[in-house]
Structure formats: structure tokens, C-alpha cells
Structure 1
Amino acid sequence: MFFGGDPFEHFAHHGGGGSHRGPRRDVDTTKLYETLGVEKTATQPEIKKAYRKLAVKHHPDKGGDEHKFKEINAAYEILSDEEKRAKYDRHGLEGIDDHGGGDGGADIFDLFFGGGRQASRGPRRSEDVNHAIKVTLEDLYNGKTVKLAINREVLVGKPKMCRQCDGRGMRMELRQIGLGMVQQIQRHCASCRGEGYQCEKKRERKIVEVHVEKGMRHKDKITFRGMSDEKPNMQPGDVHFVVHEKEHDVFKRKGADLLITKNLSLKEALTGFAWRIKHLDGRSLIVASKPGEVIRANAANEKPYVKIVPNEGMPSRGNPFVKGNLYVLFTVKFPEDGELSAAALDSLRAHLPGPSSMDMEAQEEEEEVHLEVANIANFGRGGAQTQESAYDSDSDEGPQAVNCQQS
């Protein structure tokens, strides 16, 4: 919004006459800030916090996009250096003398604009496209190749610059809102739909083979470079097929490890067990206890009792011959009350280790009592509720007042 003076002074460089000493019109000084998701006025702690959050989210080892991860590192290396940041704020990426940026020496223009030092004035990349591909745990264990169709827009002929917006894709409109007051509004060019160029397009359907590698994880990406929609004066972006792992009925997965739950009777837990499972590759495994092995109801730290079958987990992506472990979480089911006969109880007392307390007899003035089922949540709520207990309530209002009316 402009108050007084010449409201068209802002557009003086579009006409002839005069020299232009400021930055060129096409210099981009916001891309790095947008990459980290911060404002241009962000402080160094804010930039560092945003970088750490994005680096964890987009790290390739956690299923993130490698190219995006490199962009984040490059942006942080420049914006975390006050001298480089000042040059970038004035002159854009061309103002950075050392074209580093966390990519092992790769040109930073390749990261953000898809090729070369002149790329800031040349074609940029169109948006990437993500498609979900649902796979079973068996598919991720054994690997799978499927044929899928990519439907996209491709250009027909050579694009022509839009004369309405001079290839900028945006048009500036001025609206007078009062005496000496003019409002400047920026809108997408309706003639070229904000693309800056006009051209004919057509739909293309291409069949691609999507290879799901052994050991891939949920949200891993299978990328086809340059297969997204073609746009004028831009390089096509990538198409990512994002792995969505379906839940399995038997196995639970975490990383390269698998987990199954096995319920045992007290007899099996004490005397031994064996059961058959069908693995993800179709093999039949018999999981059996060792002679004399006892399965406990809980581990020593009161956590679930767990054992493993080594090297029977998921294959590792990139090295499928190295596998994780198969974890077995045990639960032991004890007999119900009255289920064991007196003879069975006598036999257990005779053969199980440890002392028996059943021979204890009540002494004079002693009383024998029995147990009932209880809920620990009721601990502290026993006995009669007295008037004083009302003051122990969590309410800040205390006990309600009682009004007495005399007749």
C-alpha cells in the first residue's frame, strides 16, 4: 500500500531510462528460507531448531527423500553462516562464492534448480508426485515387482512466453482505495494459469515396473526421475511410489526384527512345548523349547518374558542376506480355580521345588481367612465414608454448603 507520491514508482524499472543498481529482478533470496520453513527474519537458534527437525524427518535412513535431505543441509550450511547469509540475502545463490552446501562438493545450483550455475535463470523443476503402493509383509520379505501406470501431462510443441505477464506467471494490479492511496495486488496470470508460458498439452500414459526390494520399510520411496507433469520452461519433477505396509495377522515388525506372541499353558511352560509356524517365505518352522527349559510368566524386571530365534527376522534392504531376529513374547495361562483335582495338587506339591505351606495349622486365637478378587484402583476407598472425607476431594470448592431453614 502506498501513501502519497507516485504510486507507479515501484514499476519504474519496467520502462526505459535510468539505471538499475539493485539486485536483478530474477534473483531469488527466499528459496533457502522456504526449504527450512522459517522466515527471513529468523534467528540462528530458530534456524538450527528447524534444521534439526527437518533433518530427522527427511533422513534417507528413515525413509526420507535423499534429494530433499541434501537441500536441507545445503540451506542450513549457508544460513547458519552470517557472512554467507548476508551475501545470499543481497544477491541470491550467485552471491555465494564457495558453492558448497553439505553435498560433498556438489554444486548448490544442482540441488535447488536442477543443473548448473545458470539454472537460476533457466528451467526449474516441477512438483514431485507421490503415489501410495500397498504391500504385504510377505512382499517386503520376499521382494516384488509390479507394473503400474503413470498418467501425466506432456507438452506438445514449443512453449511461447505469455505476453500478458512477460513470462512471470503473475500480474500486478493497482487499485485506488482513497485520495493518494493505491493498493497493489499480485495475482496469477489468467492467460497462462500462472505458468508464464502458453503451450498445448496432452495426457500420456506410461507403464513402469515398480520393484519392491527385500527389506523395504513403511514409507520408503521408489523413485522414477523426471516422470511428473511437464510444465513450460521447467524440468519435470519425480514420481515417488511410497510403500504402505499392511498389518499382518501373525507377525509384528519393527525395523528388521519380527515379533510373535505365544500363549502357553502352565503345563507347557513347566514341561516343554513345540508349535509350528509358517514363515513369510512359506517355510514351516517348528519352535521348540530346550530340555528342562522353563518359561516364566514375567521377566525379572516385571516386563514380558521374551526370547528370540536368531536370524529369522526381516532381510536388510541392500543386503538381504543379513536378517534381523524373530522375537517370541510369551504369556502363561494358569489353571482356573477348582480346575486341578486334589490328587493333581498333591502330585504337584510332591514334585515341584520349594517349601509347601499347606501344612500350617491355626493356633489358638488365630483365624483363617480367604481371598477374593479385587481391583487395585479401589485401594484407599474402603471403610465408611465420613464427613471429613468430603474435604479430601480434589475439588477446589470444598464441601457444598447446607442451608437450614427454620419454620
Structure 2
Amino acid sequence: MGNPPELYYKVLNITRDTPPQEIRAAYRCLVRQWHPDKHPPESKTEAEAMFKAITQAYEALLDQQENRAVLRACSLDAGRRSCASADKGPRATDTEKAAAGARTSAAAPPPPCTPPARESQKVYSSTDVGGGGRRAFAEFSSYVVRKAPPLERKVECTLEELCAGCRKEVRYTRDVVTKNGLIAKKEVTQIIRVKPGWKKGTKVTFEGMGNERPGCLPGDAVFTVSARKHKAFKRQGDDLVLKAEVPLVSALTGWSFSFRLLGGEKVSWTFRDEVIGPGYEKVVRGEGMPVAGGKRGARGDVRVKFDVVFPKNLTDEQRRGLVEILRGCA
């Protein structure tokens, strides 16, 4: 059996210093739990692999114990022969050899105890289902290494929370495997510390705090940051974009405009000598979102984009007046 002993101990959920009687108890408990006849069709394949792997692990550890017992007996016998040779004493008699053999047999633990099966049940062993114990252990190893699927949830934040950072308390329900192998629900509370500048789609992972499945490592709980729609600003990278509508007459003749930043500070602009045309943009440097992972105090910008609102209808008199006014404009 070429599998590492560490994996055998992991299969039986025991440690290296576990005494033989406790190894046998762990084996009996696991084979009862994972006997394929106790599992529904959808999990029977996994149960078969687990059952065979448990049996192989127990047999491997049993062989190791027997080998150690034989080596100890041989060492003792060799020591006695060496002492006898040094003392020029007689060789061991047949009676002594028989007694030594009896002691060696007594030191070995009893063979594995396969749980009793009804006549209608199939009795599984580590050599069943083509390929033998090694294949069974390979199948089991794939279950051990595999993680249960991640439990995914969203955590919604406002733009203000993503700008300043915040502490979010999230509650969710996860599946846990009980001692008897059943699935139970458990409510969990986790704290997520949102850092300033985090973007939509940022993931926070709590390893091993997701759903549990028999034969698998616990899955992770993964929370993905989502951003609530803001009534004024739209985020583009580390910049904040604000769209402002300005009537055509104000865009041509002068206009005053004010708004508040995310932090609450008020910004006011007055346009007198400049004409606001379609696509006109004004920038407030360093008042955007914090740059996550950037230099201390680094921030994006606030970009205000003006949308000139043209009138939908004009009277003939208005048209003639505009022609006279705008005729000389370049």
C-alpha cells in the first residue's frame, strides 16, 4: 500500500499516538457511518469510495502495528541469542522457540472487524470494485482534497460607505455536518471591514466558513461587494461623475450651479463669461474616491458633465429673433 501514513490517520480521524483499541473503535464507527447500504443512490458512489478507503487505512495501520510487533520480538530474540553466545550457554530449545512464537502472535492486534451484514446486503471491502485498495484510496483522496462549493452572498454598500469605509455585520445560514453524518442548518454572523475606496465586485472570503458536505473540506463563505445606486454621482474607476442639465439660454447667457460632495462639502460655480456647450466638463481635483491600495490620501476626481437642454419647440418670432442674434456669431 503506497499511500502515506499521514493520510491513513486523516481518514480515520486519529493521531499517530492513538492506541490500538481506539483505532479499532474509530474504524467501527466510520464503517457504520459510511456503509453504502445506508446511503441514498445520489451519494452511494461517494459512500463506497469512503468505505473502501476507511477499510484500507485500517488494514494499513494494522499491518504497521504487526510489523512493529514482529521487529520487537526479533530484536528481543536476537538479544537473547547474543547474550547466550557471550555466556557460551546452550542454544534455545524448541520449547523456548515455541514460547517466543506465541509471544509474537500475542503482540499483534486482532484483524479488522467488518460490521455484520444482513443476507440481503452487499459486504464491501477494500478490494471491491475493480482496481483494488489503491484505486479506492485514490477515489477517496479526491473527495478529501475537494472542497464543498463556496457559499456566495452579496454585501450592499452605499457610495458614501465605499468612500469613507465602514463595518458591515452580515448574517447567513450555512450547512454543517453533524456527528452522525446528517446535514443541519447553522446561523453565522461575520464582520466585514470595508476599506475606503473598495470597488464593486471586491470579494471577501472567510475560509472554511461556508457549507459542509460529507467527505469534503468545508467550503468558503464568499461575500461580493455591490454598490447601491447613488442619486447624484456615478462611479467610474476612482472618479465620481455628476451630470448637470443646463437650459440653453443659461448656457449662452450665464448660469450659477452648486452641488455637494460625498463628504457633504458644498461646491458653487458661476458661469458669466464662458459659454457652456454640449460635452462641456469641469473637474474638481482630488475630491473623488480614495484609491484603494494607493498612496496615503490619494483620491480620484469629481467630473461634472453638463448636458445642454435645447427647447423642443420655437415660434416663428423666436426663430427670427435667434437668427438676428446669432447671425454674427462664429
More helix by share: 2
Larger Rg belongs to:
2
Normalised to the residue count of structure 2, the TM-score between the two structures is: 0.50
More strand by share: 1
